[in-house]
Amino acid sequence: MVCNDPRVAQYIRENFVAVATSDLEYVNRKETDRAEYRIVQKIYAQSPYPEAYQGIMLASSSGQLFEHYTDYDADSALEALKRAKAEYDRMPKAERVLSEALRPKDALPHWEPSREGVIDIRVTKRTMPDPRIPELDQRHPMYFHFDYLWIKESELADFVPKEIAKGQKRTLAKKYVQRFGVTNLLMPEGQAWMLEDLKDGSLVTTVTSVEADGIHLRLDGEFHLDAKRESNDSAYDGKLIGHFVVSRDKRKMVSFEAVALGEVDVRRLNAALHHAPGDTLAGAVFRINGTSANDRMVPSGWHVAYRDF
């Protein structure tokens, strides 16, 4: 959220080398002998928030941590950036720069799933306007969120009814309901959802027509999630409707568009994220992803709902 502020983005661009990654990439790794692992663990060890690796960590290449910022206020984030820059400038060069020469084998292997034969769908989501939600709240509609949904081309046949005729329906397998509903695609970030949080849900496709460009289908979905644990005490109830076209041989997705709207009820507020009552409406739009380098992202729920992918 804070990096949406142009002042913060500009200061980072002018004074830091920015790296965006998942904290899961560096926790419980087996390659503990790699220099990259040692440097990152050294930075983690200096954090005032034990085992809280998320947020913005400002450090030197030598592994000296200056700031670990976890709030959502752009003004204080900018001050933290300036403090870190000033402290870095005061350090002798010998202390702020990594002394050892790094080699390719010092890097951790960063695994990324293959995109071959994958239909990549971008999800844009935001909370609906609500006068109760202040700008500091991560659910404020000024903050829009991206995520990604992957479907294999080899899975497309699962989305098409056995009989290809107008009005024919097909209820999709549970794994697709989980992929759409559990990976936080339907609401802004803030809570971690697990497979067991999906209490009820369905996805049904209906043939609307068969045209020269392919099989036209309607997609209807319902989702009910409920989590009751320390990290997430909240619920979601929502519906999804969409239209997509699959080639007649069921091997290609010609087009895909869907929207979802649901009520999110955060029963236990997180002071770092929420500054208003817990019930809000959240919307999401699904479209085929772009092809630029910035669009090449892995779904955030990869470790949850893509275990058999």
What does the chain look like in DSSP terms, one character per residue?
Answer: -GGGSHHHHHHHHHH-------GGGTSS-S-TTSHHHHHHHHHHHT-SSTT---SEEEE-TTS-EEEEE----HHHHHHHHHHHHHHHHHS-HHHHS--SPP-GGGSPP------TTEEEEEEEEEEPP-TT--TTSTTSTTS-EEEEEEEEGGGGGGGS-SS-STT-EEEPPHHHHHHHHTSSTTS-SSS---GGGEEEEEEEEEEEEEETTEEEEEEEEEEEEEEEETTEEEEEEEEEEEEEEE-TTS--EEEEEEEEEEEEEESS--TTT--S-SEEEEEEEEEE---SGGG----TTHHHH-TT-
Assess whether 158 and 266 both reside in one domain.
yes
Order of strands, sheet of 118-127, starting from the edge strand that comes earlier in the sequence:
145-152, 118-127, 279-288, 253-266, 232-246, 214-229, 198-211, 169-171
Q: How many domains does the chain have?
A: 2
In 3D space, the residue among 222, 120, 229, 233 whose CA is nearest the CA of residue 181 turns out to be 222
Is 8 inside any structural domain? Answer: yes
Is 299 inside any structural domain? Answer: yes
Whole-number pLDDT of residue 51: 63
Is 245 inside any structural domain? Answer: yes
Q: Hey, which residues does 259 pair with through a beta bridge?
A: 241, 285
Residue type for position 116: E
pLDDT cut 90: percent of the chain above it: 57
Assess whether 82 and 152 both reside in one domain.
no
Whole-number pLDDT of residue 52: 65
Domain final residue pick, 84, 106, 128: 106
Is 112 inside any structural domain? Answer: no
Whole-number pLDDT of residue 190: 66
**For residue 42, what are its two tokens?**
């050294």
Assess whether 48 and 85 both reside in one domain.
yes
Sequence-ordered list of residues with C-beta below 8 angstroms from that of 277, at least 6 positions apart, any chain: 132
Is 253 inside any structural domain? Answer: yes
Whole-number pLDDT of residue 295: 83
Assess whether 124 and 58 both reside in one domain.
no
Is 229 inside any structural domain? Answer: yes
Assess whether 137 and 282 both reside in one domain.
yes
In this prediction the pTM is 0.76
Whole-number pLDDT of residue 98: 87
Whole-number pLDDT of residue 24: 65
Sequence-ordered list of residues with C-beta below 8 angstroms from that of 226, at least 6 positions apart, any chain: 197, 199, 234, 235, 236
Assess whether 125 and 89 both reside in one domain.
no
Whole-number pLDDT of residue 21: 76
Domain final residue pick, 106, 130, 148: 106
By residue count, the chain amounts to 309
Whole-number pLDDT of residue 144: 84
Condensed to tens digits (0 to 9), the pLDDT of residues 65-78 reads: 999 988 778 899 99
Is 161 inside any structural domain? Answer: yes
Assess whether 78 and 136 both reside in one domain.
no
The Cα 81–Cα 11 span in angstroms is: 8
Residue type for position 292: S
The Cα 263–Cα 237 span in angstroms is: 5
Condensed to tens digits (0 to 9), the pLDDT of residues 154-163 reads: 999 999 999 9
Whole-number pLDDT of residue 1: 63
Whole-number pLDDT of residue 50: 65
Assess whether 220 and 90 both reside in one domain.
no
Assess whether 133 and 95 both reside in one domain.
no
Residue 274 belongs to what domain range? 118-305
Is 113 inside any structural domain? Answer: no
Domain final residue pick, 74, 106, 138: 106
Assess whether 195 and 167 both reside in one domain.
yes
Q: Is the dihedral of CA 178, 180, 186, 187 positive or negative?
A: positive
Assess whether 57 and 198 both reside in one domain.
no
Residue type for position 309: F
Assess whether 259 and 127 both reside in one domain.
yes
Which residues of the chain, if any, have pLDDT below 70? 1, 24-25, 50-53, 190, 272
Whole-number pLDDT of residue 145: 87
Whole-number pLDDT of residue 284: 95
